[in-house]
Amino acid sequence: MNVRVNEAEDPNSLTLRLGSGETLALESGARLDRLQIAYQTYGALNADRSNAILVCHALTGDQHVANDHPVTGKAGWWVSMIGPGKPIDTDRFFVICSNVVGGCMGSTGPASGNPETGEPYGTDFPVVTISDMVRAQKLLVDHLGIGTLLAVIGGSMGGMQVLAWASLFPERVFAAMPIATAAKHSAQNIAFHEVGRQAVMADPDWRRGRYRVEGARPVKGLSVARMAAHITYLSEPALQRKFGRKFQDRDAPTFSFDADFQVESYLRHQGITFVERFDANSYLYLTRAMDYFDLAADNGGSLAAAFARTKTRFCLVSFTSDWLFPTADSRQVVHALNAAGASVSFVEIESDKGHDAFLLEEPNLFATTRGFLDAAANARGVGKAGT
Amino acid sequence: MNVRVNEAEDPNSLTLRLGSGETLALESGARLDRLQIAYQTYGALNADRSNAILVCHALTGDQHVANDHPVTGKAGWWVSMIGPGKPIDTDRFFVICSNVVGGCMGSTGPASGNPETGEPYGTDFPVVTISDMVRAQKLLVDHLGIGTLLAVIGGSMGGMQVLAWASLFPERVFAAMPIATAAKHSAQNIAFHEVGRQAVMADPDWRRGRYRVEGARPVKGLSVARMAAHITYLSEPALQRKFGRKFQDRDAPTFSFDADFQVESYLRHQGITFVERFDANSYLYLTRAMDYFDLAADNGGSLAAAFARTKTRFCLVSFTSDWLFPTADSRQVVHALNAAGASVSFVEIESDKGHDAFLLEEPNLFATTRGFLDAAANARGVGKAGT
C-alpha cells in the first residue's frame, strides 16, 4: 500500500489552481481564494470536444474513479463502470472526475492550507453546498475548454450534483444521469448525518476541528460515524443474506463485547479502513452540503421550475431496496421533469443491495448506462469507439 | 424534578433481595449473588391470585410503567395503557413490572455494587441474556406467591421476554402478548446496536467501563448511541410529517454546524435527556442481551419446538411502519405457534409511527390489548372490575 501523507495539499492527481485574483463565490456569501481542484481524466477528448463525460462522486468517494487509489492502493470506486469497452467507454468518451470542493483528496477543503494563516482551515473553512461543488467543477470544465458536456453522471451525493448541474447550467449538459439520489435530503437522512457529525465532534481528538494543527486525529469518532452510515448504505435483506446471525471465527457466543457476530466484525472493519483515507472535517462539511440540498426551495418552491425549458435529456435510476434514497425520491424528480416538458426516462432496478447497488456489479445498471450514453453520443454525432 | 442520585443501589421502588445463599445461575455459566430486583405494582392481587399481569419493559424502559419517574419526574412510560379503566385495567388486574437484571434502576446490573469488591461492577458484571431476565422475574413472581400469571405482556425487548417466558415456563403463563418484537435479533439490528456500543466505548470517559469508580461519565458517547438508536424507533414518514426540512428557530440556513433543522434539534435533545437517566454500561449489556436472543437456536433450530405443547394463548401485534421489528418478524412467530398447535391471534396495526408506536396513543393497540386481556381473564374466571 502506497500511503501518501498529504493528498489534501499535494495530491497525486492533475490539479487546477486558480490564481490569487480569481475566487469562487460560495452560496453562503463567503469566498474561496486560490481554489485548487484535483481531478483525473480517462480516454481522450475528441477534436470537436463533444465526448466529455463528467462523473460526480458521492460523499466518501473521490476523483480516483477508475485508477488505483493513491492512499489505499485499491481499485477505483467505479472501475466496473469506466474503461475501454465498459459502459462508460473510454475508447469513445473522455471522462473527467474531480474531487469536490470541501473534499480531502486535493480539492480545496477543510484539510487544505488556509492561505491567510498557512495552517489547515479546519472549521474555519466556509460551509459549502452542492451548487458550490458544481460551480467549482464548471471552472474545471471551462479550463479544459469544454463547452457542453456530453453527460454528467453520478450517484447519491454525485446525483445531487448532476441535478444541480442540469438546473444551474442546462446549456452545458447534453445528457444527465442522476442515480440513487433525490432533489432534497429527507428528515431521516439529515438525522443520520447529524448522528455522524455528533460522533465526530464528541471525540476529544477532534479538538474543535483543529486536530491537524494540534497533531491529533478523531479516528474513533469518525469510525463510529462511518459505521452508522454504512448500515444505511446496505439493506436489511442484504445484511441477512451476507451475515445473518453467523458468528465470526467461533461456534458459540463468548458472552462478552467482542465482535461475536460477523456483521459486527464487518462494521468495525468498515470504520477502521475509512479513517485511514478520509478527513473528519471533510466528513462534517460534505454531510452538511447534502443536508442543505433542496432544489425546489432554491427555485421558489417548485422543482419543475428548476428545470424550466431544459433541453437536457435525463435518465434517472433507482434501486428497489435503497431505503436512503428510495424510488419515491427519483419519481418526484421525474414528475418535475415531466412537468417541465423535459426528455426523461426512468429505470427502477430490482436489487437487494440497497443504496450501495450503484457502486456494485449490477448488470441492469451497466446496460442502462451504456444504452443511455451511446444514444446521447449518437444524437450528438460523437464518433464510435475507434473512429 | 426529583433527581435521585443512586437509583441503581437504593431505588425508589419495592425491592426483592435474595439472601447470600441464593444465586441466579446465568446462561453464560456465571452466577449472580445477592440479587436485587426492583419492581412496582399497581392494583390488587385477588384472593385466588389469578389476576396478575407481568409487564416486561423495553431496552431503555424500567419498572416505572404507570407512576411518575423518580429521576425525570415524567409520567410512566405506559401510563396510557395501565390504570383504572384503561386497557390494562388496574381495577381488575394486579400489574407487576420489574427492572430487568442488567438494568440501572435498582435491579442488579453493572451500576450496582459488586458484593466481592464493594465497588460498582462496571464491565466485571457478567453478560446477561433475555432468559436470565426472565428467570430473575420468575424469582419475583415466586416471591409474590403467584403461580400462573394471567398474562405477560411487553413490546420490543419486552416482547422478547414475553416469548422467553412462554417458552421457558409455559405452565406459568396463561396468556402472552408480545408486541413489536421478534424471536431473534436481525443482522441489521445487531449492526445498529454495535454502532451504539462503539459510540459509548469510544468515549474516553467510559474508562474501560470503570467510569463510576473513577468519577467520570461517558455522556457524549451514550448520547450519540441514543441518537442513532432513536432514528430506528421512528419511521421515515413520521419524521417527514413531524419535521420534514423545517428549520429550528430560524428562516434560513446558517451555513454552520448548528442544529439548523428541527430534526437535528430534536435528536440532540433525545441524546441529552437520555444520559440523565440511563447508565452507559447498562446500555451495553442490554443491547447485547437483545443481540444474543435467538429462541429457535435455543431449541435445536426449531422455533416451533420452543412452544411445543403450549397451552398459553397468544396475541401478537406488529405495526406497519416498524422497520426495526417488521411484521415479518411477528409473522415468523405466528407460523411457529401455529406449527406448535398453539392458540394464537395476530394483529398488524396500520400506523406511520414506526417501532415507537407501541408506546404511543394507538387506539387499535389499546382495543386489542383490552379485548385480549378481558377474554383471557373471563376464560380464567377472574372477577370483573369492582367485583
- CB of B332 within 8 Å of any CB in chain A? no
Identify the CA nearest to A316 among candidates A279, A371, A260, A368. Answer: A368
Q: What is the dihedral of CA B247, B253, B256, B262, to 10 degrees?
A: 10
Q: What is the pLDDT of residue B77?
A: 98
CB < 8 Å from B in window 152-171 of A = none
A383 against B77, higher pLDDT: B77
| CATH class belonging to B14-185+294-380 | alpha beta
Catalytic residue among B50, B112, B131, B156: B156
End-to-end CA distance of chain B: 38
User: Nearest 5°: phi and psi at B25?
Assistant: -80, 125
Contacts of B203 in chain A (CB under 8 A): 202
CB contact B73 to A (< 8 Å): no
Taking CB atoms within 8 Å and a gap of at least 24, the contacts of B372-375 are B372/B175, B372/B177, B372/B315, B372/B345, B373/B53, B373/B87, B373/B88, B373/B89, B373/B93, B373/B150, B373/B151, B373/B153, B373/B175, B373/B177
Rounded to the nearest 5°, which phi and psi values hold at A322?
-80, 110
H or E segment and range at residue A14: strand A14-17
Domain residue ranges of chain A, discontinuous segments joined by +: 14-184+298-380, 190-287
Packing angle of the helix pair A219-233, A280-292 (nearest 10 deg):
40
Q: Is B272 on the interface with A (CB under 8 A)?
A: no
What distance in Å separates residue B197's CA from the closest CA in chain A? 9
SS3 A339: helix
Q: How many CB pairs under 8 A join A and B?
A: 156
Contacts of A240 (CB under 8 A, 6+ apart): B186, B187, B188
Q: Is B242 an 8 Å CB contact of chain A?
A: yes
Q: Which of A245, A246, A284 to mutate to test the interface with B (most CBs of B within 10 A)?
A: A245
> How much is the average pLDDT of A337-346?
98
Indicate the CATH number of A190-287 among 1.10.1740.110, 1.10.3450.40, 3.40.225.10, 3.40.50.2000.
Answer: 1.10.1740.110
A228 to chain B, any CB pair closer than 8 A? The answer is yes
Average pLDDT value for residue range A188-194: 98
Burial B114-143 (b: 16+ CB within 10 A, else e): beeeeebbbbebbbbbbbbbbbbbbbbbee
Return residues 168-207 of B near A (CB < 8 Å): 184-188, 190-192, 194-195, 197-199, 201-204
Task: Give me the pLDDT at residue B145, please.
Answer: 97
Q: Pick from A257, A281, A287 the residue to mutate for testing the B interface (most B CBs within 10 Å).
A: A257
Smallest Cβ–Cβ distance between B224 and the set A27, A224, A267 belongs to A224
Q: What is the model's pLDDT at position B4?
A: 53
A220: which chain B residues are within 8 Å (Cβ-Cβ)?
202
Q: Which pLDDT score, from 0 to 100, does residue B387 have?
A: 57
Q: Which of A42-46, A117-121, A284-288, A307-311 is least confident?
A: A117-121
Q: Is it the case that residue A77 has pLDDT exceeding 70?
A: yes
**Cell of residue A72, nine digits:** 489505499
Nearest-Cα distance to chain B for A264, in Å, is 6
Of the candidates A127, A239, A255, the beta carbon closest to that of B127 is on A255
**Of A197, A245, A294, Cβ closest to residue B245:** A294
For chain B of 387 residues, list the mean pLDDT of each consecutive stretch of 10. Answer: 68 92 93 95 97 98 97 96 98 98 97 92 97 98 98 98 98 98 98 98 97 96 98 97 95 94 97 96 98 97 97 98 98 98 98 97 98 98 78
pLDDT of residue B3: 47
Does B107 qualify as catalytic in the annotation? Answer: no
pLDDT in tens, A111-123: 999 988 999 999 9
Q: What is the pLDDT of residues A21-41, one digit of tens each?
A: 788 999 999 999 999 999 999
Identify which of B184, B202, B323 has the shortest CB distance to residue A203: B202
Length of chain B: 387
Catalytic residue, candidates A50, A107, A131, A156: A156
Question: Which of A186, A255, A267 has the CB atom closest to B236's CB atom?
Answer: A186
Averaged pLDDT score across all residues of chain A: 96
Residue B383, min C-alpha distance to chain A (Å): 45
User: CB–CB of A127 and B255 under 8 A?
Assistant: yes
Q: Is A346 on the interface with B (CB under 8 A)?
A: no
Give the mean pLDDT of A286-306: 98
Look at residue A3 in the predicted model and tell me its pLDDT: 47
- Collapsing DSSP states into helix, strand and coil, what is residue B240? helix
SS3 assignment, position B280: helix
pLDDT of residue B20: 77
What CATH number labels A14-184+298-380? 3.40.50.1820
Q: Which of A301-305's residues contact partners 24+ apart within 8 Å by CB, and which partners?
A: A302/A336, A303/A183, A303/A332, A303/A333, A303/A336, A304/A336, A304/A337, A304/A339, A304/A340, A305/A340
| Minimum Cα–Cα distance from A272: chain B residue | B198
Among candidate residues A281, A204, A200, A264, the one with its CA nearest the CA of residue A230? A264
